[in-house]
Amino acid sequence: VTTSQSSLIGTVLFNFAFTSALPSWVNEKKSDVPVGVTFWTTMSFVVVLYSLVGIIGGMAYSPFYDTNENLFSKLNASGSRIGQITVAAYPMLQNV
Question: What would the pLDDT profile of 40-81 be if each residue is shown by its tens digit?
Answer: 898 888 888 888 887 887 777 777 666 777 788 888 888 889
Average pLDDT over residues 80-86: 90
Q: Angle at CA 16, nearest 5°, toward 18 and 64?
A: 155
Distance, in Å, from the CA atom of 64 to the CA atom of 54, rounded to the nearest integer, reads 13
The pLDDT of residue 70: 79
Distance, in Å, from the CA atom of 63 to the CA atom of 61, rounded to the nearest integer, reads 6
Classify burial at 75, counting beta carbons within 10 Å of its beta carbon; exposed 0-12, middle 13-18, buried 19 or more: buried
